[in-house]
A and B are shown apart, each in its own frame.
Chain A
Amino acid sequence: MPTPPSSPPAAPRPPVTGTAPSQAELRSRLHGLPGVDAVGLEQRAAGLATRSIKTTAKAYALDLAISMVDLTTLEGSDTAGKVRALCAKAARPDPGDPTTPHTAAVCVYPDLAATAKEALAAAGAPQVEVAAVATAFPSGRASLRVKIADAEDAVAAGADEVDMVIDRGAFLSGDYLKVHEEIRAVKEACAAGPGAGARLKVIFENAELATYDNIRRASWLAMEAGADFIKTSTGKVGGAATLPATLLMLEAVRGYHAATGTRVGVKPAGGIRAAKDALRYLVVVNETAGPEWLTPDWFRFGASGLLGDLLMQRHKLATGAYSGAAYVTVD
Protein backbone atom coordinates (compact mmCIF):
# COMPACT_ATOMS: atom_id res chain seq x y z
CA MET A 1 0.00 0.00 0.00
CA PRO A 2 1.62 3.26 -1.01
CA THR A 3 1.81 5.90 1.65
CA PRO A 4 1.20 9.52 0.83
CA PRO A 5 4.19 11.81 0.90
CA SER A 6 5.16 13.14 4.30
CA SER A 7 7.79 15.70 3.36
CA PRO A 8 7.49 19.11 5.05
CA PRO A 9 4.82 21.24 3.43
CA ALA A 10 5.83 23.51 0.59
CA ALA A 11 6.76 27.01 1.65
CA PRO A 12 4.76 29.96 0.36
CA ARG A 13 6.15 31.95 -2.57
CA PRO A 14 7.57 35.31 -1.59
CA PRO A 15 5.28 38.21 -2.44
CA VAL A 16 5.71 39.76 -5.86
CA THR A 17 7.77 42.92 -5.55
CA GLY A 18 8.40 45.86 -7.80
CA THR A 19 6.05 48.30 -9.45
CA ALA A 20 2.66 47.20 -10.54
CA PRO A 21 2.14 46.44 -14.22
CA SER A 22 -0.04 48.92 -16.08
CA GLN A 23 -3.63 48.08 -16.86
CA ALA A 24 -2.76 48.06 -20.57
CA GLU A 25 0.17 45.72 -20.06
CA LEU A 26 -1.91 43.30 -18.05
CA ARG A 27 -4.71 43.40 -20.52
CA SER A 28 -2.54 42.78 -23.54
CA ARG A 29 -0.74 39.94 -21.79
CA LEU A 30 -3.93 38.22 -20.63
CA HIS A 31 -5.70 38.71 -23.92
CA GLY A 32 -2.62 37.45 -25.73
CA LEU A 33 -2.94 34.02 -24.13
CA PRO A 34 -4.00 31.31 -26.57
CA GLY A 35 -7.76 30.88 -26.69
CA VAL A 36 -9.52 27.89 -25.24
CA ASP A 37 -11.78 25.83 -27.42
CA ALA A 38 -14.53 24.78 -25.06
CA VAL A 39 -15.60 21.68 -26.92
CA GLY A 40 -12.06 20.41 -27.34
CA LEU A 41 -11.27 21.04 -23.69
CA GLU A 42 -14.41 19.25 -22.52
CA GLN A 43 -13.77 16.32 -24.81
CA ARG A 44 -10.23 15.95 -23.51
CA ALA A 45 -11.53 15.96 -19.96
CA ALA A 46 -14.22 13.43 -20.88
CA GLY A 47 -11.59 11.24 -22.51
CA LEU A 48 -9.43 11.24 -19.40
CA ALA A 49 -12.49 10.50 -17.30
CA THR A 50 -12.73 7.09 -19.00
CA ARG A 51 -9.45 5.93 -17.46
CA SER A 52 -10.04 2.80 -15.46
CA ILE A 53 -8.30 2.94 -12.08
CA LYS A 54 -8.26 -0.49 -10.49
CA THR A 55 -6.69 -2.54 -7.67
CA THR A 56 -3.27 -1.21 -6.60
CA ALA A 57 -3.70 1.99 -8.57
CA LYS A 58 -7.04 2.58 -6.89
CA ALA A 59 -5.63 1.96 -3.42
CA TYR A 60 -2.84 4.41 -4.08
CA ALA A 61 -5.19 7.00 -5.53
CA LEU A 62 -7.73 6.75 -2.71
CA ASP A 63 -5.08 7.38 -0.07
CA LEU A 64 -3.58 10.16 -2.14
CA ALA A 65 -7.00 11.76 -2.50
CA ILE A 66 -7.65 11.55 1.25
CA SER A 67 -4.32 13.22 1.90
CA MET A 68 -5.30 16.04 -0.47
CA VAL A 69 -8.63 16.90 1.13
CA ASP A 70 -9.14 20.35 2.61
CA LEU A 71 -11.90 19.21 4.93
CA THR A 72 -14.24 22.12 4.88
CA THR A 73 -17.02 23.70 6.86
CA LEU A 74 -18.10 27.18 5.84
CA GLU A 75 -21.53 27.68 7.30
CA GLY A 76 -23.08 30.52 9.21
CA SER A 77 -24.00 27.92 11.78
CA ASP A 78 -20.44 26.75 12.38
CA THR A 79 -19.45 26.53 16.04
CA ALA A 80 -16.34 25.64 17.97
CA GLY A 81 -17.83 22.23 18.61
CA LYS A 82 -18.47 21.60 14.95
CA VAL A 83 -14.92 22.66 14.06
CA ARG A 84 -13.41 20.42 16.74
CA ALA A 85 -15.31 17.44 15.37
CA LEU A 86 -14.11 18.27 11.87
CA CYS A 87 -10.52 18.50 13.09
CA ALA A 88 -10.77 15.14 14.79
CA LYS A 89 -11.92 13.63 11.54
CA ALA A 90 -9.19 15.37 9.57
CA ALA A 91 -6.58 14.01 11.93
CA ARG A 92 -7.94 10.46 11.94
CA PRO A 93 -10.42 10.02 9.10
CA ASP A 94 -10.90 6.36 9.93
CA PRO A 95 -10.45 5.73 13.64
CA GLY A 96 -10.63 2.01 13.00
CA ASP A 97 -7.73 2.00 10.56
CA PRO A 98 -4.60 3.87 11.59
CA THR A 99 -3.07 3.34 8.13
CA THR A 100 -5.55 5.87 6.78
CA PRO A 101 -3.75 9.14 5.97
CA HIS A 102 -4.84 12.40 7.51
CA THR A 103 -6.28 15.10 5.33
CA ALA A 104 -4.19 17.98 4.09
CA ALA A 105 -6.05 20.71 5.94
CA VAL A 106 -9.24 21.85 7.51
CA CYS A 107 -10.85 24.86 5.95
CA VAL A 108 -12.88 27.27 8.09
CA TYR A 109 -13.83 30.92 8.46
CA PRO A 110 -11.09 33.11 10.03
CA ASP A 111 -12.88 33.46 13.35
CA LEU A 112 -12.66 29.71 13.85
CA ALA A 113 -9.08 29.32 12.66
CA ALA A 114 -7.64 29.52 16.17
CA THR A 115 -10.10 26.88 17.36
CA ALA A 116 -9.09 24.62 14.50
CA LYS A 117 -5.40 25.11 15.22
CA GLU A 118 -5.87 24.14 18.87
CA ALA A 119 -8.11 21.21 18.05
CA LEU A 120 -5.64 19.75 15.59
CA ALA A 121 -2.81 20.11 18.05
CA ALA A 122 -4.96 18.43 20.68
CA ALA A 123 -5.74 15.61 18.25
CA GLY A 124 -2.03 15.07 17.79
CA ALA A 125 -2.13 16.19 14.18
CA PRO A 126 -0.43 19.57 14.05
CA GLN A 127 0.76 18.68 10.54
CA VAL A 128 -2.82 19.08 9.29
CA GLU A 129 -2.93 22.64 8.13
CA VAL A 130 -5.54 25.25 8.88
CA ALA A 131 -6.88 27.10 5.92
CA ALA A 132 -9.05 30.14 6.45
CA VAL A 133 -11.19 31.77 3.83
CA ALA A 134 -10.84 35.53 3.78
CA THR A 135 -11.33 38.76 1.84
CA ALA A 136 -15.08 38.98 2.41
CA PHE A 137 -15.64 35.37 1.36
CA PRO A 138 -17.62 34.33 -0.62
CA SER A 139 -18.67 37.46 -2.54
CA GLY A 140 -15.50 39.49 -2.18
CA ARG A 141 -17.59 42.61 -1.94
CA ALA A 142 -15.71 44.78 0.53
CA SER A 143 -13.07 47.45 0.49
CA LEU A 144 -9.45 46.44 0.10
CA ARG A 145 -8.84 47.67 3.65
CA VAL A 146 -11.43 45.26 5.00
CA LYS A 147 -10.14 42.42 2.85
CA ILE A 148 -6.61 42.90 4.09
CA ALA A 149 -7.82 43.09 7.68
CA ASP A 150 -9.76 39.84 7.13
CA ALA A 151 -6.62 38.12 5.87
CA GLU A 152 -4.51 39.56 8.68
CA ASP A 153 -7.01 38.23 11.19
CA ALA A 154 -6.75 34.76 9.67
CA VAL A 155 -2.98 34.79 9.76
CA ALA A 156 -2.95 36.14 13.28
CA ALA A 157 -5.26 33.33 14.33
CA GLY A 158 -2.68 30.84 13.10
CA ALA A 159 -3.97 30.00 9.64
CA ASP A 160 -1.32 28.21 7.58
CA GLU A 161 -3.21 28.96 4.41
CA VAL A 162 -5.49 31.76 3.31
CA ASP A 163 -8.18 31.13 0.68
CA MET A 164 -9.05 34.51 -0.79
CA VAL A 165 -11.69 35.35 -3.36
CA ILE A 166 -11.02 37.67 -6.28
CA ASP A 167 -13.23 40.62 -7.13
CA ARG A 168 -15.19 39.05 -9.97
CA GLY A 169 -16.91 42.33 -10.68
CA ALA A 170 -13.57 44.01 -11.29
CA PHE A 171 -12.40 41.08 -13.41
CA LEU A 172 -15.50 41.01 -15.57
CA SER A 173 -15.41 44.77 -16.07
CA GLY A 174 -11.85 44.45 -17.34
CA ASP A 175 -10.16 46.00 -14.30
CA TYR A 176 -7.46 43.35 -14.14
CA LEU A 177 -5.14 45.72 -12.33
CA LYS A 178 -7.50 45.95 -9.38
CA VAL A 179 -7.65 42.17 -9.12
CA HIS A 180 -3.88 41.93 -9.46
CA GLU A 181 -3.21 44.51 -6.79
CA GLU A 182 -5.69 43.00 -4.35
CA ILE A 183 -4.05 39.61 -4.70
CA ARG A 184 -0.64 41.23 -4.20
CA ALA A 185 -1.81 43.06 -1.11
CA VAL A 186 -3.40 39.98 0.44
CA LYS A 187 -0.26 38.01 -0.37
CA GLU A 188 1.73 40.55 1.58
CA ALA A 189 -0.63 40.19 4.51
CA CYS A 190 -0.10 36.41 4.33
CA ALA A 191 3.67 36.86 4.30
CA ALA A 192 3.43 38.75 7.56
CA GLY A 193 2.42 35.55 9.35
CA PRO A 194 4.74 33.41 11.49
CA GLY A 195 7.70 31.79 9.73
CA ALA A 196 7.52 32.09 5.99
CA GLY A 197 3.90 33.11 6.32
CA ALA A 198 0.71 31.56 5.03
CA ARG A 199 0.25 30.09 1.58
CA LEU A 200 -2.27 31.97 -0.49
CA LYS A 201 -5.01 30.23 -2.45
CA VAL A 202 -6.81 32.46 -4.92
CA ILE A 203 -10.43 31.56 -5.60
CA PHE A 204 -11.88 32.57 -8.98
CA GLU A 205 -15.47 31.42 -8.67
CA ASN A 206 -15.32 29.94 -12.18
CA ALA A 207 -19.07 29.82 -12.54
CA GLU A 208 -19.16 33.60 -12.34
CA LEU A 209 -16.25 34.06 -14.71
CA ALA A 210 -18.37 32.00 -17.09
CA THR A 211 -15.92 31.32 -19.92
CA TYR A 212 -12.85 29.17 -20.18
CA ASP A 213 -10.94 32.09 -21.67
CA ASN A 214 -11.67 34.05 -18.49
CA ILE A 215 -10.55 31.16 -16.32
CA ARG A 216 -7.27 30.94 -18.19
CA ARG A 217 -6.75 34.70 -17.85
CA ALA A 218 -7.63 34.63 -14.16
CA SER A 219 -5.16 31.79 -13.67
CA TRP A 220 -2.28 33.73 -15.17
CA LEU A 221 -3.32 36.93 -13.45
CA ALA A 222 -3.35 35.23 -10.05
CA MET A 223 -0.08 33.41 -10.63
CA GLU A 224 1.64 36.61 -11.70
CA ALA A 225 0.30 38.37 -8.61
CA GLY A 226 1.82 35.76 -6.32
CA ALA A 227 -0.76 33.03 -5.77
CA ASP A 228 0.50 29.78 -4.23
CA PHE A 229 -2.64 27.96 -5.32
CA ILE A 230 -5.40 28.71 -7.76
CA LYS A 231 -8.81 27.47 -6.74
CA THR A 232 -11.93 26.94 -8.80
CA SER A 233 -14.76 28.04 -6.57
CA THR A 234 -16.11 28.99 -3.18
CA GLY A 235 -18.60 26.15 -3.09
CA LYS A 236 -21.28 28.75 -2.47
CA VAL A 237 -22.34 29.15 -6.08
CA GLY A 238 -23.86 26.53 -8.33
CA GLY A 239 -21.62 24.96 -10.99
CA ALA A 240 -18.56 24.81 -8.79
CA ALA A 241 -15.56 22.66 -9.67
CA THR A 242 -15.62 20.92 -13.03
CA LEU A 243 -13.15 18.54 -14.57
CA PRO A 244 -12.56 20.61 -17.73
CA ALA A 245 -12.00 23.85 -15.80
CA THR A 246 -9.57 22.07 -13.50
CA LEU A 247 -7.79 20.60 -16.50
CA LEU A 248 -7.51 24.10 -17.92
CA MET A 249 -6.08 25.45 -14.64
CA LEU A 250 -3.61 22.56 -14.58
CA GLU A 251 -2.49 23.54 -18.07
CA ALA A 252 -2.00 27.06 -16.76
CA VAL A 253 0.15 26.03 -13.79
CA ARG A 254 2.14 23.74 -16.05
CA GLY A 255 2.71 26.62 -18.47
CA TYR A 256 3.59 29.02 -15.67
CA HIS A 257 6.09 26.55 -14.27
CA ALA A 258 7.64 26.05 -17.67
CA ALA A 259 7.89 29.80 -18.17
CA THR A 260 9.10 30.85 -14.70
CA GLY A 261 10.24 27.75 -12.84
CA THR A 262 7.71 28.54 -10.13
CA ARG A 263 5.23 25.82 -9.25
CA VAL A 264 1.68 26.79 -8.31
CA GLY A 265 -0.94 24.40 -6.93
CA VAL A 266 -4.51 23.80 -8.01
CA LYS A 267 -7.56 23.27 -5.83
CA PRO A 268 -10.92 22.28 -7.23
CA ALA A 269 -13.58 22.95 -4.63
CA GLY A 270 -17.28 22.35 -4.41
CA GLY A 271 -19.37 19.58 -5.87
CA ILE A 272 -16.81 16.78 -5.73
CA ARG A 273 -18.60 14.19 -3.62
CA ALA A 274 -17.74 10.78 -5.04
CA ALA A 275 -14.44 8.93 -4.79
CA LYS A 276 -14.83 8.05 -8.45
CA ASP A 277 -14.85 11.75 -9.32
CA ALA A 278 -11.81 12.40 -7.16
CA LEU A 279 -9.92 9.65 -8.99
CA ARG A 280 -10.80 11.29 -12.29
CA TYR A 281 -9.29 14.53 -11.05
CA LEU A 282 -6.13 12.69 -10.09
CA VAL A 283 -5.90 11.20 -13.56
CA VAL A 284 -6.27 14.68 -15.02
CA VAL A 285 -3.51 15.98 -12.74
CA ASN A 286 -1.28 13.06 -13.67
CA GLU A 287 -1.70 13.46 -17.42
CA THR A 288 -1.91 17.25 -17.61
CA ALA A 289 0.40 18.94 -15.11
CA GLY A 290 2.26 15.72 -14.42
CA PRO A 291 3.13 13.53 -11.45
CA GLU A 292 5.00 16.41 -9.76
CA TRP A 293 1.63 17.89 -8.89
CA LEU A 294 0.35 14.67 -7.35
CA THR A 295 1.03 15.69 -3.74
CA PRO A 296 -0.99 17.63 -1.16
CA ASP A 297 1.55 20.40 -1.65
CA TRP A 298 0.31 21.06 -5.17
CA PHE A 299 -3.16 19.64 -5.43
CA ARG A 300 -6.11 19.78 -3.04
CA PHE A 301 -9.76 18.92 -2.98
CA GLY A 302 -11.98 21.47 -1.26
CA ALA A 303 -14.72 19.20 0.01
CA SER A 304 -16.77 18.09 2.96
CA GLY A 305 -18.71 15.04 1.81
CA LEU A 306 -16.00 13.56 -0.40
CA LEU A 307 -13.97 12.17 2.47
CA GLY A 308 -16.79 9.85 3.50
CA ASP A 309 -16.98 8.22 0.09
CA LEU A 310 -13.20 7.94 -0.17
CA LEU A 311 -13.25 6.07 3.14
CA MET A 312 -16.08 3.80 2.06
CA GLN A 313 -14.22 2.93 -1.15
CA ARG A 314 -11.13 2.29 0.94
CA HIS A 315 -13.10 -0.17 3.07
CA LYS A 316 -14.43 -1.85 -0.02
CA LEU A 317 -10.98 -2.25 -1.46
CA ALA A 318 -9.60 -3.60 1.81
CA THR A 319 -12.45 -5.98 2.66
CA GLY A 320 -13.98 -6.76 -0.73
CA ALA A 321 -17.43 -5.84 0.65
CA TYR A 322 -19.34 -2.65 -0.05
CA SER A 323 -19.36 -0.31 2.93
CA GLY A 324 -22.18 1.83 4.28
CA ALA A 325 -22.60 5.31 5.68
CA ALA A 326 -22.96 3.91 9.19
CA TYR A 327 -19.36 2.74 9.06
CA VAL A 328 -17.97 6.19 8.36
CA THR A 329 -17.91 8.92 10.97
CA VAL A 330 -20.14 11.89 10.40
CA ASP A 331 -18.55 15.30 10.73
Chain B
Amino acid sequence: MTALIRAQALSKKFGSKTVLDNLNFSLEAGDPIALIGPNGAGKTTLFSLLCGYISPSAGQLEILGHKPGSSSLFGRVSALPQDAQLDPNFSVQTQLEFYGRLQGMNPATAKAETARVLALVDLADNGKQKATALSHGMRKRVAIAQALLGQPELVMLDEPTAGLDPVNAMQVRKLIASLSKEATFIISSHNIFELERLCGTVLYLEHGRLQQQQPTHQQGVAGYLTVQLEPGDNQRVQLLLSQLPGVQKVELLQKNEFGLCYDRELCPDLDLTVLALLRAEGLPYRQLTLGRSLEQQLFSVVNG
Protein backbone atom coordinates (compact mmCIF):
# COMPACT_ATOMS: atom_id res chain seq x y z
CA MET B 1 0.00 0.00 0.00
CA THR B 2 1.35 3.44 -0.96
CA ALA B 3 1.89 5.75 1.99
CA LEU B 4 -0.03 8.99 1.92
CA ILE B 5 3.15 10.96 2.56
CA ARG B 6 6.69 9.70 2.81
CA ALA B 7 9.66 11.88 3.67
CA GLN B 8 13.21 10.58 3.61
CA ALA B 9 16.14 12.66 4.82
CA LEU B 10 14.15 15.74 3.87
CA SER B 11 15.93 19.05 4.38
CA LYS B 12 15.28 22.60 3.33
CA LYS B 13 17.73 25.46 3.58
CA PHE B 14 17.19 29.14 2.81
CA GLY B 15 20.70 30.42 2.19
CA SER B 16 22.77 29.21 5.09
CA LYS B 17 19.77 28.79 7.40
CA THR B 18 18.51 25.23 7.78
CA VAL B 19 14.74 25.39 8.21
CA LEU B 20 14.01 21.67 7.99
CA ASP B 21 16.69 19.22 8.98
CA ASN B 22 16.70 15.59 7.92
CA LEU B 23 13.02 14.76 8.41
CA ASN B 24 12.02 11.12 8.12
CA PHE B 25 8.41 10.14 8.47
CA SER B 26 5.64 8.21 6.82
CA LEU B 27 1.95 8.99 7.16
CA GLU B 28 -0.99 6.81 6.23
CA ALA B 29 -4.43 7.93 5.11
CA GLY B 30 -7.04 8.07 7.84
CA ASP B 31 -7.72 10.35 10.77
CA PRO B 32 -6.65 14.00 10.57
CA ILE B 33 -2.96 14.61 11.20
CA ALA B 34 -1.77 17.51 13.32
CA LEU B 35 1.35 19.48 12.53
CA ILE B 36 2.48 21.28 15.64
CA GLY B 37 5.45 23.38 16.52
CA PRO B 38 6.45 26.78 17.82
CA ASN B 39 6.84 29.79 15.52
CA GLY B 40 9.75 29.26 13.15
CA ALA B 41 9.72 25.49 13.65
CA GLY B 42 9.31 24.89 9.91
CA LYS B 43 5.60 24.02 9.71
CA THR B 44 4.78 26.39 6.84
CA THR B 45 7.97 25.36 5.05
CA LEU B 46 6.91 21.72 5.32
CA PHE B 47 3.46 22.69 3.99
CA SER B 48 5.06 24.57 1.11
CA LEU B 49 7.18 21.51 0.27
CA LEU B 50 4.12 19.26 0.41
CA CYS B 51 2.22 21.59 -1.91
CA GLY B 52 5.14 21.83 -4.33
CA TYR B 53 5.53 25.59 -3.81
CA ILE B 54 9.21 25.12 -3.01
CA SER B 55 11.70 22.32 -3.65
CA PRO B 56 13.66 20.45 -1.00
CA SER B 57 17.35 21.17 -0.63
CA ALA B 58 18.00 17.49 0.03
CA GLY B 59 16.10 14.25 0.52
CA GLN B 60 12.91 12.93 -0.94
CA LEU B 61 9.27 13.69 -0.45
CA GLU B 62 6.37 11.77 -1.95
CA ILE B 63 2.63 12.24 -1.77
CA LEU B 64 0.57 9.25 -2.87
CA GLY B 65 3.71 7.97 -4.59
CA HIS B 66 4.35 11.17 -6.57
CA LYS B 67 6.57 14.19 -6.19
CA PRO B 68 4.72 17.24 -4.80
CA GLY B 69 3.45 19.45 -7.60
CA SER B 70 3.22 16.50 -10.00
CA SER B 71 0.34 16.61 -12.48
CA SER B 72 -0.78 13.22 -11.09
CA LEU B 73 -1.77 15.00 -7.88
CA PHE B 74 -3.94 17.72 -9.46
CA GLY B 75 -7.38 17.44 -7.94
CA ARG B 76 -6.22 14.71 -5.50
CA VAL B 77 -4.34 17.03 -3.18
CA SER B 78 -5.67 20.38 -2.06
CA ALA B 79 -4.55 22.98 0.42
CA LEU B 80 -5.33 26.12 2.32
CA PRO B 81 -2.05 27.96 1.91
CA GLN B 82 -1.17 30.54 4.52
CA ASP B 83 -1.82 34.15 3.41
CA ALA B 84 -2.84 33.25 -0.17
CA GLN B 85 -5.59 35.44 -1.58
CA LEU B 86 -7.97 35.18 -4.48
CA ASP B 87 -7.80 37.57 -7.43
CA PRO B 88 -9.54 40.80 -6.35
CA ASN B 89 -10.86 41.43 -9.89
CA PHE B 90 -13.33 38.53 -9.95
CA SER B 91 -16.13 37.23 -7.80
CA VAL B 92 -15.50 34.32 -5.49
CA GLN B 93 -17.89 32.17 -7.52
CA THR B 94 -16.14 32.93 -10.83
CA GLN B 95 -12.78 31.92 -9.41
CA LEU B 96 -13.96 28.78 -7.67
CA GLU B 97 -15.74 27.68 -10.84
CA PHE B 98 -12.54 28.31 -12.75
CA TYR B 99 -10.60 26.18 -10.27
CA GLY B 100 -13.21 23.48 -10.70
CA ARG B 101 -12.76 23.63 -14.48
CA LEU B 102 -8.99 23.24 -14.03
CA GLN B 103 -9.72 20.16 -11.91
CA GLY B 104 -11.46 18.66 -14.91
CA MET B 105 -15.09 19.47 -14.13
CA ASN B 106 -17.50 20.53 -16.84
CA PRO B 107 -19.10 23.98 -16.43
CA ALA B 108 -22.30 22.67 -14.83
CA THR B 109 -20.41 20.46 -12.35
CA ALA B 110 -17.99 23.27 -11.51
CA LYS B 111 -20.93 25.55 -10.78
CA ALA B 112 -22.67 22.96 -8.60
CA GLU B 113 -19.42 22.15 -6.77
CA THR B 114 -18.81 25.83 -6.11
CA ALA B 115 -22.29 26.19 -4.63
CA ARG B 116 -21.73 23.05 -2.52
CA VAL B 117 -18.40 24.11 -1.02
CA LEU B 118 -19.56 27.67 -0.37
CA ALA B 119 -22.56 26.26 1.47
CA LEU B 120 -20.22 24.05 3.51
CA VAL B 121 -18.45 27.14 4.85
CA ASP B 122 -21.72 29.02 5.27
CA LEU B 123 -21.06 31.47 2.44
CA ALA B 124 -23.73 30.35 -0.02
CA ASP B 125 -25.01 33.92 -0.35
CA ASN B 126 -21.59 35.50 -0.87
CA GLY B 127 -20.52 33.87 -4.11
CA LYS B 128 -21.19 36.95 -6.21
CA GLN B 129 -18.96 39.11 -4.04
CA LYS B 130 -15.33 39.81 -4.71
CA ALA B 131 -12.79 38.60 -2.20
CA THR B 132 -11.93 42.21 -1.31
CA ALA B 133 -15.53 42.81 -0.19
CA LEU B 134 -15.34 40.00 2.36
CA SER B 135 -14.08 40.15 5.93
CA HIS B 136 -10.84 38.40 6.91
CA GLY B 137 -12.75 35.49 8.39
CA MET B 138 -14.96 35.13 5.32
CA ARG B 139 -11.91 35.18 3.03
CA LYS B 140 -10.38 32.43 5.14
CA ARG B 141 -13.55 30.37 4.79
CA VAL B 142 -13.57 30.92 1.02
CA ALA B 143 -9.98 29.67 0.94
CA ILE B 144 -11.08 26.60 2.88
CA ALA B 145 -13.95 26.16 0.42
CA GLN B 146 -11.58 26.08 -2.56
CA ALA B 147 -9.65 23.31 -0.83
CA LEU B 148 -12.79 21.20 -0.68
CA LEU B 149 -13.65 21.43 -4.40
CA GLY B 150 -14.00 18.03 -6.02
CA GLN B 151 -12.94 14.94 -4.13
CA PRO B 152 -9.43 15.51 -2.82
CA GLU B 153 -7.79 12.60 -1.03
CA LEU B 154 -5.51 14.84 0.98
CA VAL B 155 -6.45 18.29 2.29
CA MET B 156 -3.72 20.37 3.91
CA LEU B 157 -4.89 23.28 6.01
CA ASP B 158 -2.35 25.76 7.32
CA GLU B 159 -3.81 27.55 10.34
CA PRO B 160 -7.44 27.04 9.26
CA THR B 161 -8.99 28.75 12.28
CA ALA B 162 -6.45 31.54 12.75
CA GLY B 163 -8.27 34.86 12.60
CA LEU B 164 -11.73 33.30 12.82
CA ASP B 165 -14.17 34.21 15.56
CA PRO B 166 -15.01 31.39 18.01
CA VAL B 167 -18.29 30.52 16.31
CA ASN B 168 -16.74 30.21 12.86
CA ALA B 169 -13.72 28.40 14.26
CA MET B 170 -16.06 25.86 15.79
CA GLN B 171 -17.90 25.51 12.46
CA VAL B 172 -14.62 24.87 10.66
CA ARG B 173 -13.68 22.23 13.25
CA LYS B 174 -17.07 20.58 12.80
CA LEU B 175 -16.64 20.69 9.04
CA ILE B 176 -13.24 19.01 9.22
CA ALA B 177 -14.57 16.38 11.60
CA SER B 178 -17.53 15.67 9.30
CA LEU B 179 -15.35 15.39 6.18
CA SER B 180 -12.53 13.42 7.75
CA LYS B 181 -13.98 10.12 6.56
CA GLU B 182 -13.80 11.28 2.93
CA ALA B 183 -10.30 12.76 2.91
CA THR B 184 -7.23 12.83 5.09
CA PHE B 185 -6.65 16.24 6.60
CA ILE B 186 -3.29 17.63 7.68
CA ILE B 187 -3.80 20.59 9.94
CA SER B 188 -1.21 23.02 11.14
CA SER B 189 -2.24 25.12 14.09
CA HIS B 190 -1.03 26.68 17.31
CA ASN B 191 -4.30 25.73 18.93
CA ILE B 192 -3.26 22.49 20.58
CA PHE B 193 -6.69 21.83 22.08
CA GLU B 194 -8.28 22.13 18.66
CA LEU B 195 -5.80 19.62 17.22
CA GLU B 196 -6.31 17.27 20.14
CA ARG B 197 -10.01 17.16 19.41
CA LEU B 198 -9.64 16.70 15.68
CA CYS B 199 -6.53 14.68 15.02
CA GLY B 200 -5.44 11.10 15.40
CA THR B 201 -1.73 11.59 14.77
CA VAL B 202 0.58 14.42 15.62
CA LEU B 203 3.84 15.56 14.08
CA TYR B 204 5.76 17.82 16.40
CA LEU B 205 8.38 20.01 14.77
CA GLU B 206 10.91 22.11 16.61
CA HIS B 207 13.95 23.92 15.20
CA GLY B 208 13.31 22.20 11.88
CA ARG B 209 13.52 18.72 13.34
CA LEU B 210 10.79 16.19 13.84
CA GLN B 211 10.69 15.73 17.62
CA GLN B 212 7.76 13.36 17.79
CA GLN B 213 5.34 11.47 15.61
CA GLN B 214 2.68 9.69 17.60
CA PRO B 215 -1.04 9.13 17.98
CA THR B 216 -2.65 12.01 19.89
CA HIS B 217 -4.04 9.64 22.52
CA GLN B 218 -1.25 7.10 22.59
CA GLN B 219 -0.39 7.46 26.25
CA GLY B 220 -4.00 7.95 27.33
CA VAL B 221 -4.53 4.39 28.40
CA ALA B 222 -1.12 3.88 29.94
CA GLY B 223 -2.03 4.68 33.54
CA TYR B 224 -2.63 8.38 33.59
CA LEU B 225 -5.70 10.39 34.48
CA THR B 226 -6.18 14.14 34.22
CA VAL B 227 -8.71 15.70 36.58
CA GLN B 228 -9.86 19.29 36.39
CA LEU B 229 -11.90 20.58 39.33
CA GLU B 230 -13.74 23.69 40.33
CA PRO B 231 -11.52 26.08 42.35
CA GLY B 232 -10.90 24.75 45.88
CA ASP B 233 -8.27 23.57 48.32
CA ASN B 234 -5.62 22.10 46.06
CA GLN B 235 -3.49 20.68 48.86
CA ARG B 236 -6.40 18.80 50.30
CA VAL B 237 -7.44 17.44 46.92
CA GLN B 238 -3.88 16.38 46.11
CA LEU B 239 -3.69 14.51 49.43
CA LEU B 240 -7.05 12.79 48.88
CA LEU B 241 -6.14 11.70 45.37
CA SER B 242 -2.71 10.42 46.36
CA GLN B 243 -4.31 8.17 49.01
CA LEU B 244 -6.36 6.26 46.45
CA PRO B 245 -5.19 2.65 45.95
CA GLY B 246 -2.95 2.20 42.91
CA VAL B 247 -2.11 5.89 42.55
CA GLN B 248 1.64 6.37 42.35
CA LYS B 249 1.94 10.10 41.97
CA VAL B 250 -0.31 13.16 41.83
CA GLU B 251 0.93 16.25 39.95
CA LEU B 252 -0.59 19.68 40.16
CA LEU B 253 -0.52 20.52 36.43
CA GLN B 254 -2.20 23.87 36.42
CA LYS B 255 -4.57 25.70 38.71
CA ASN B 256 -7.16 23.10 39.84
CA GLU B 257 -5.86 20.50 37.35
CA PHE B 258 -4.24 17.32 38.61
CA GLY B 259 -2.42 14.52 36.83
CA LEU B 260 -2.60 11.07 38.38
CA CYS B 261 0.01 8.40 37.53
CA TYR B 262 -1.32 4.99 38.50
CA ASP B 263 -0.88 1.30 37.99
CA ARG B 264 -3.54 0.14 35.54
CA GLU B 265 -3.30 -3.46 36.60
CA LEU B 266 -3.87 -2.64 40.24
CA CYS B 267 -6.61 -0.16 39.54
CA PRO B 268 -8.22 -0.55 36.11
CA ASP B 269 -11.26 1.55 37.11
CA LEU B 270 -9.50 4.48 38.73
CA ASP B 271 -11.71 6.93 36.85
CA LEU B 272 -14.78 5.54 38.58
CA THR B 273 -12.99 5.52 41.93
CA VAL B 274 -12.00 9.16 41.47
CA LEU B 275 -15.55 10.16 40.54
CA ALA B 276 -16.87 8.39 43.63
CA LEU B 277 -14.31 10.16 45.80
CA LEU B 278 -15.16 13.56 44.36
CA ARG B 279 -18.86 12.95 44.91
CA ALA B 280 -18.29 11.75 48.47
CA GLU B 281 -16.10 14.75 49.29
CA GLY B 282 -18.44 17.24 47.59
CA LEU B 283 -15.80 18.35 45.07
CA PRO B 284 -17.41 19.36 41.76
CA TYR B 285 -15.31 18.48 38.72
CA ARG B 286 -15.09 20.11 35.30
CA GLN B 287 -13.34 17.48 33.25
CA LEU B 288 -11.96 13.99 33.63
CA THR B 289 -9.64 12.77 30.90
CA LEU B 290 -8.13 9.35 30.53
CA GLY B 291 -4.49 9.91 29.69
CA ARG B 292 -2.45 13.05 29.31
CA SER B 293 -3.61 16.00 27.27
CA LEU B 294 -1.76 16.47 23.99
CA GLU B 295 -0.08 19.50 25.50
CA GLN B 296 1.30 17.38 28.36
CA GLN B 297 2.31 14.58 26.02
CA LEU B 298 4.29 16.92 23.82
CA PHE B 299 5.87 19.21 26.31
CA SER B 300 6.54 16.72 29.10
CA VAL B 301 8.67 14.79 26.60
CA VAL B 302 10.18 17.75 24.79
CA ASN B 303 10.97 19.80 27.89
CA GLY B 304 12.05 16.96 30.06
Q: Are A and B co-members of a single complex?
A: no
Query: Chain A: residues with CB nearer than 8 A to chain B?
Result: none
